[in-house]
Structure 1
Amino acid sequence: MSAQKRQLLFKILVIGDVGTGKSSIVRRYVHNIFNQYYKATVGVDFAMKVVMWDATTLIRLQLWDISGQDRFGNMTRVYYKDAHGAVIVFDATRENTYEGALKWKDDLDSKVTLADGNPVPAILLANKVDLENNVSEDVLKEYGSKNNFVASFRTSAKENLGLEDAFRTLTQHIIDTQEEGQYEIPVIQRDPNVRRIDATDERWYTYSNSERRRCC
């Protein structure tokens, strides 16, 4: 008889300034699609990535693609609630978005923490490295380490560069944190009154052909 598979559900925030390519990253990672004319997110969009982590573990990554304008509002506390980790994105060709990434990190750390008071795992993505005049890997690594990101990656949603490694690294950090008992919420919600998201139900996929689901 085959071993019963363990199923985990992780909530991951995708945050950063307007125009850094957050939605393109989510779309490429989940559906392997890129469209440079994608409209800016309003509020929050959702997408689900199902990963067969190993022979006995299936992981659903629930990605919350949050509008780049929302750091200036009061809704981020609602969006951040019960997050297991975060992807913070900046535009590798726009220096002003570097500082924006740190402001998002500060906002995240002030609103959601682990049981021991430390920040939830967050990775830093320098997106659009397919374009000229982008940040070097050495500068990025130093910048990310200095500002308490668990890892930093040069990525391109257009060319599909670096995304698999980035999300796998974040997922491993989340698993390690969960095994240390640092999340104050269960990794899998078992409340019978809460509807579980079915990863096979395309209605819940942000970029499916069906109606898009938004939080607000």
Structure 2
Amino acid sequence: MYKVLVIGDIRVGKTSFVHRLVNNLFKDNYKCTLGVDFALKTIEMDDGQSVKLQLWDIAGSERATSMTRVYYKGASACILMFDLADRDSFNNCSKWKKDLDDKVFLSDDGPIPCLLLGNKVDLKEERVVSDQEIKAFQKEYNFIGSVLCSVKENTGLHEGMKFLTSTMVERCNQIQTANDHDIGFSIDSDEPKPSRLCC
């Protein structure tokens, strides 16, 4: 079981994303999330492996509070979502990413893999954030990648989640392998040195 955060401003589509991903359902109106909501999703990878995810849908107002440190604890990956038709939600991604990088780490002290997800790509006439801006932002803030999606039309979600999940599992396996190599025997003890958990 891997803990995956879903963060971003209010009304960018985080709750819709989770419901579409988990239940393949979409509604035009959702009540704003208060605090955090949870859902479980099993991702079938291309190699036949099944990966269980615990999705934490965190309220868009939470970045301004100290509660994010509690919500982020133990996470292995993150989706940072913005609305392609809302310039402010894109600009605020820098604050969300900084908050994330300041508060949660993998066991090797590196940042958790984070995917930048632009929602509402179906609203072509209302779009205000360009591909060039997204790519530049992705590189500047060290995202593993960026994906455009439409929760309403169910496009881009599953591809994005597979990419994030495969990157997360690969990263955690690398850490676990490094930890396994660190296990050894000290001169005055036959007890093996404890290894740190990967995520």
One-letter amino acid of the counterpart of residue 142, structure 1 = A
Q: Does 1:105 align with 2:97?
A: yes
Find the aligned partners of 1:186 and 1:175 in 2 and give their Cα distance.
10
Match of 1:39 among 18, 22, 31: 31
Matched residue, 1:162: 156
Aligned residue runs from structure 1 range 89-104, under 5 A: 89-104=81-96
Q: Does the Cα contact within 8 Å between 2:45 and 2:162 map onto a contact in 1? A: no
Match of 1:121 among 113, 117, 122: 113
3-state secondary structure, aligned to 1:63: strand
Find the aligned partners of 2:72 and 2:197 in 1 and give their Cα distance.
13
One-letter amino acid of the counterpart of residue 171, structure 2 = T
TM-aligned CA deviation for residue 115 of structure 1: 2.8
- Please provide the CA RMSD for this pair: 1.7
Q: In 2 relative to 1, CA 58–77 (structure 1 residues): closer, same or farther, beyond 3 Å? A: same
Match of 2:60 among 45, 65, 68: 68
Aligned length: 179
Higher helix share: 2
Q: Any idea what the Cα deviations from partners look like across 1:113-165, whole Å, max 9, x if unmatched?
A: 12332210000011111112323333322221221110101111111111011
Find the aligned partners of 1:161 and 1:186 in 2 and give their Cα distance.
32
3-state secondary structure, aligned to 1:114: coil
Q: Answer 1 or 2: higher relative contact order, Cα 8 Å, separation at least 6.
A: 1
Find the aligned partners of 1:69 and 1:40 in 2 and give their Cα distance.
10
One-letter amino acid of the counterpart of residue 64, structure 1 = W
Matched residues, percent identical? 43
TM-aligned CA deviation for residue 50 of structure 1: 1.2
Q: Does 1:137 align with 2:131?
A: yes
